[in-house]
Structure 1
Amino acid sequence: MARILAWCRRRELPAAGWPLVALAFSGSVFAALGAALPSSAAADVWVYALTSLCCAVLGVGLVLLGSRMPGWLPQTLVVVAVVVIAYFSAAVPDDAGALLPTFEYAALAAYCAYFFGRAQTRCHVAFMSVCLLAALLVGDRPAPVTVWFIVTTTIAAIAEVQGHLVSQLRRQARHDHLTGLLNRGGFEQEAPRLLALAARSSRPVAAVVIDLDGFKRINDDLGHAAGDRVLIDLAASWRDRVRDGDLLARYGGDEFVLLLPDTTAVEAQALLDRLRDGHAARWSAGIAEWDGSSRLSDLLWHADRALYQAKESRGRSGLQAVDEDAAAAG
């Protein structure tokens, strides 16, 4: 068993892959239970057994795919699973046994809420609701509307509550709790998309690294509450002055980064002048213009080097410098 688990860990499935594997194997178990029910007809036993085998093979196939699993596959498998579950709910002769497959709907709703967007999840839940009602009516189950209402409201509640919690957790993971700006992790998730878009359209991008001047002295002399207030007010002022498409993040401590699409280094300097007008705090900045191909880390390194040059040139006096080598690097 330990060797099997170690082999599975090496497959490097995407985040959405392992829950699909678990759902596939649980579907195999449910189908096997359907075959084992005393009320199952001989013909039904073969259908259940074949479905159980197919689910098991699907689970193994997903593991074998590993990192090669295409992005469209999870959505497709959810739709197929909903139809298969509805079929078994209608086909099982025993009324109590017919409800057994519907437990998989709750698991699918939780899966959708975690890995898909809210709109996509609601579409899947609506599809589950339609398929369940059809299965109950085709199977001639007692009180089909009541059963449908109870099951549908349950899976909808699971999807909505989990979707809300997941969106909150993801926001907290991506945003700085003090300023509300993107944190380092959130910035490093969004920035590559912006650079990829700029590369396709051959548009300029400027990176800015900002460091507050004398911030340690504020904390030492006035206390950390005063330092926090400066960060909050400064972030609010900057947020009002940057464009909607600009990425502004608190990178750590008193350091901030800006990624400015459709902006040259010269235009970035003009933007920084506007930022200075909004708050009395003093800060230094380094600017680097993207060369169109280098990595985000290299771009930020050039901006950080320009920041160092700004601080060294005339002391800590609210300067900004441009790394002239950044645009030419490649």
Structure 2
Amino acid sequence: MGTASASLCASSVGTRASASMAGCPSRCPGEDRMSRSVDHALGPAVGRIRRALRRQSNFSATTALGAGYFAVLIAAHLVMHPHGSLETTAEIAQLVLCLLGLAWALAAGRRLPRWAGLVLIGGVAAGIAVAQFAASDLGGLLSTLFLVPLLAAYLGWGFRPRAARIMLSAIVAVTTVAALVNPSLRDPDPVVAWASVYAALVSVFTLEVSIALVRGLRRALRTDPLTGTLNRRALRAYVRAHRREGLWVIGIDMDGLKPYNDRHGHAAGDLLLRDSARSWQEVIGESGVVGRWGGDEFVVVVQAPDEQAARAVLGRLRAASPHRFSAGVAKILPNRGLDHAVKVADGDLYRDKRRAPGRVPRTYPRRIALPAPDPAEARPPRQTAYTIVCIAAAGLFVLSGLVDLLGVQAALSVGLSVADVVIGLLTVAAALAFGHRLPRWAVLAWVVLVAATTFGHISAMAGPVPLVEGILGLQLVAAMLGCFYRPGTARAFQLVVVSAVGAGLLFADPDVLGIIGPGPVIIGIPTSLFLLEVVLRVRLRLRMLAQTDELTGALNRLGFEERLQALARRSRRRGTPLAVVAVDFDDFKRLNDDHGHARGDGALRAAVALWRDGLRETDVIGRIGGDEFLIALPGADTARAAAIMQRLRAEADDSWSWGAATLRQEEQVEDLLLRADRALYAAKRRRPRARGTTRQVPLQPF
């Protein structure tokens, strides 16, 4: 320690001397004291900000972002745009409301009620309607239209679909009527009418895309990726929603699944779990749900009037099950919740195990027949959410092109409108023909063509319609790219369309721009970029939750498989090695049986924490079963993986076995995982028989 300190001091002295000789004065003691004073003064504020950010849920964070963004826009609009007294009063009220909403969302965090978002939406929508009614020029009226799609996205993320659609319909109706009855417009203006209709269509598109995105991600968030049953999070939500209906918990623990996996492999064990869960769901029907609590542990929640009825359901589950299991029953008390009931049922379950300690776990033919799965259900649907969104987006551009053809006279504008229609129709035809096989690059090519025609429309515009359509098109493209593409790709192609709009403005007629004013550009373009970032944030946040194991914080099966596919593609492209390690805890079943599931859960969490501390940030950890994990080590071969795992196992408190395999040229990921699984079980067979979870003799590299 002393040597290290001396070396550090010598290094510091040498650095200061070099700096002084080079003409850079060293830091004086007064500057050090000032720096410490600043850090001391800012420390509490920075700490409070960090604590506030950690308290945020997806809803509260989105609310805070939206409120802050609207506050900035309103303040900028107040400064740069002339206002009447009514418009000024409305915007000041909006500004105050947004600032209060921002502070409330940050302070409340996860406790922010949904009605707070409704109040904020209602206030902003009312301000937009007043601004459209009181606007003294066309630019001020059009500027506020570009905010409605942002409100639609927020409604789609934060509220139930039916409520979101009703609220958006009310907002669109009020703002459209306010724009059409604006007293500054002596006659009904077709520009305002078409701009309002097109903004309404883009808003509906944004709402439906947001609803579809959240619905799909929430389905993944609530479902166990292996068995298709509910996960812990979804089970708790089900109990909260049906708490007054007399619910009972049946805890199930599959007997002897570990030896079954050792004999037949994980693929056979996974099939057995899926088959068992499917048979149980067939038995209980609509009277309850089946959820996977752990590796071979399930929770069945059923509605029953008393314990006798609940145990009768348990008897039917045993008769239908393809594999023997131990079980316990407990009532869900209104003031204790699901976790307490599972703990009580766990005690009953282990009493059931002790009543027949010598029974041989076996798999036997089922006693009731299940309907055979329909092969058509295994095939992906012809049209997915991605292709439906692409068809809708291209259809809106076709509609705008047809409307432009009705009002343009210049040959260039006619040609551009025809190009819009043709490109849109070709995109729709391709999506209908290819269905779920539609390549992602095809839609990106369509975005580039749209950017080119948008540049032509704006540079040659004789009125405000092309600019309105271009800016609303920015928001439409932002919603689509944010939902279905990676962040880097989405931002790059969004900037392509934004650049096309900006370049078109450079070549546009100054007289037309003078009529419109700077408001639509200053508000519309930043709003489209903000919409893209918020869509990306919401999507990635929900996706992260859907792909994370709730117990350990590692990736679940769905998330790990997706990351592994990406790592395999990069390994083949760069020619670098990729090792996958399969890990399985030794005698984990005995640990749970002797000490309870809480001790087993603690062992899993501790192991994942140890691996995270001992691995690189680029390494990936996934939990694919109860005590079964996979670790991907990019850039490592089998020998390097063996060295890493031996070091980690030497530091572990609980015993586990592992086997590694390296990706081969032209090998599928499934084959790589199969070889790692075989290596794991070969390692298990070579290990001495373990007792409990004590450390074992180190294994030679496989």
Same topology, TM > 0.5: yes
Asked if residue 160 in structure 1 is aligned to residue 533 in structure 2, the reply is yes
Does 239-248 or 68-77 show the bigger shift? 68-77
Cα 1:145–1:129 shift into 2, 3 Å: farther
Decide whether the 8 Å contact of 1:129 with 1:148 is kept in 2.
no
Opposite residue 422 of structure 2, the aligned amino acid is L
Cα distance in 2 for residues equivalent to 1:294 and 1:212 = 28
CA displacement at 1:98 relative to structure 2: 4.8
Decide whether the 8 Å contact of 1:85 with 1:102 is kept in 2.
no
* Partner secondary structure for residue 176 of structure 1: coil
Does 144-153 or 300-309 show the bigger shift? 300-309
Q: Alpha-carbon deviations, 1:162-209, whole Å to 9, x = none?
A: 011122233234333333323222322233454455567776654432
CA displacement at 1:211 relative to structure 2: 1.2
CA displacement at 1:150 relative to structure 2: 1.5
Cα 1:28–1:226 shift into 2, 3 Å: same
* Partner secondary structure for residue 675 of structure 2: helix
1:234 is aligned to: 607
Decide whether the 8 Å contact of 2:471 with 2:525 is kept in 1.
no
* Partner secondary structure for residue 41 of structure 1: coil
Equivalences for residues 21-100 of structure 1 within 5 A: 21-37=391-407, 40-41=408-409, 43=411, 44=413, 48-49=417-418, 51-64=420-433, 72-89=441-458, 91=460, 93-95=462-464, 98-100=467-469
2:522 is aligned to: 149
Cα distance in 1 for residues equivalent to 2:421 and 2:575 = 52
Cα distance in 1 for residues equivalent to 2:662 and 2:414 = 67
CA displacement at 1:149 relative to structure 2: 1.1
2:622 is aligned to: 249
Equivalences for residues 1-330 of structure 1 within 5 A: 18-37=388-407, 40-41=408-409, 43=411, 44=413, 48-49=417-418, 51-64=420-433, 72-89=441-458, 91=460, 93-95=462-464, 98-135=467-504, 138-139=508-509, 140-141=512-513, 142-195=515-568, 206-220=579-593, 222-261=595-634, 263-288=636-661, 292-313=665-686, 314-316=688-690, 318=696
Does 246-255 or 209-218 show the bigger shift? 209-218
Cα 1:323–1:12 shift into 2, 3 Å: farther
Cα 1:19–1:320 shift into 2, 3 Å: farther
Cα distance in 2 for residues equivalent to 1:35 and 1:281 = 73
Cα 1:151–1:260 shift into 2, 3 Å: closer
Does 177-186 or 24-33 show the bigger shift? 177-186
Decide whether the 8 Å contact of 2:398 with 2:420 is kept in 1.
yes
Decide whether the 8 Å contact of 1:246 with 1:259 is kept in 2.
yes
Cα 1:209–1:77 shift into 2, 3 Å: same
Cα distance in 2 for residues equivalent to 1:97 and 1:267 = 60
CA displacement at 1:253 relative to structure 2: 1.4
Opposite residue 237 of structure 1, the aligned amino acid is L
Cα distance in 2 for residues equivalent to 1:297 and 1:309 = 18
Q: Structure 1 unaligned segments of length 5 or more: list them.
A: 1-8, 325-330
Q: Structure 2 unaligned segments of length 5 or more: list them.
A: 1-378
Cα 1:164–1:202 shift into 2, 3 Å: closer
Decide whether the 8 Å contact of 1:13 with 1:67 is kept in 2.
yes
Opposite residue 390 of structure 2, the aligned amino acid is L
CA displacement at 1:28 relative to structure 2: 0.8
Cα 1:119–1:266 shift into 2, 3 Å: closer
Decide whether the 8 Å contact of 2:474 with 2:498 is kept in 1.
no
Decide whether the 8 Å contact of 1:183 with 1:251 is kept in 2.
yes
CA displacement at 1:56 relative to structure 2: 1.4
Cα distance in 1 for residues equivalent to 2:459 and 2:521 = 13
Decide whether the 8 Å contact of 2:584 with 2:627 is kept in 1.
yes
Q: Please, what TM-score do these two structures have when normalized by structure 1?
A: 0.76
Q: Alpha-carbon deviations, 1:124-180, whole Å to 9, x = none?
A: 444444443454561413243111012112212211100111222332343333333
CA displacement at 1:53 relative to structure 2: 3.5
Decide whether the 8 Å contact of 1:288 with 1:302 is kept in 2.
yes
Aligned residues: 314
2:351 is aligned to: none
Cα 1:85–1:223 shift into 2, 3 Å: farther
Decide whether the 8 Å contact of 2:416 with 2:453 is kept in 1.
no
Decide whether the 8 Å contact of 2:580 with 2:632 is kept in 1.
yes
* Partner secondary structure for residue 252 of structure 1: coil
2:70 is aligned to: none
Cα 1:108–1:316 shift into 2, 3 Å: same
Decide whether the 8 Å contact of 1:110 with 1:162 is kept in 2.
yes
CA displacement at 1:114 relative to structure 2: 2.5
Cα distance in 2 for residues equivalent to 1:91 and 1:203 = 51
Decide whether the 8 Å contact of 1:31 with 1:49 is kept in 2.
yes
CA displacement at 1:281 relative to structure 2: 1.2
Cα distance in 1 for residues equivalent to 2:620 and 2:422 = 49
Decide whether the 8 Å contact of 1:211 with 1:254 is kept in 2.
yes
Cα distance in 2 for residues equivalent to 1:82 and 1:133 = 11
Cα 1:322–1:72 shift into 2, 3 Å: farther
CA displacement at 1:109 relative to structure 2: 1.1
CA displacement at 1:92 relative to structure 2: 5.2
Does 313-322 or 99-108 show the bigger shift? 313-322
CA displacement at 1:272 relative to structure 2: 2.1
* Partner secondary structure for residue 32 of structure 1: helix
Q: Alpha-carbon deviations, 1:287-318, whole Å to 9, x = none?
A: 44555554333333333234334444533464
CA displacement at 1:226 relative to structure 2: 3.8
Cα 1:32–1:320 shift into 2, 3 Å: farther
Q: Percentage identity across aligned positions?
A: 29
Opposite residue 623 of structure 2, the aligned amino acid is R
2:292 is aligned to: none
Decide whether the 8 Å contact of 2:420 with 2:450 is kept in 1.
no
Opposite residue 286 of structure 1, the aligned amino acid is G
Decide whether the 8 Å contact of 2:571 with 2:577 is kept in 1.
yes
Q: Alpha-carbon deviations, 1:258-281, whole Å to 9, x = none?
A: 234555545433322211132201
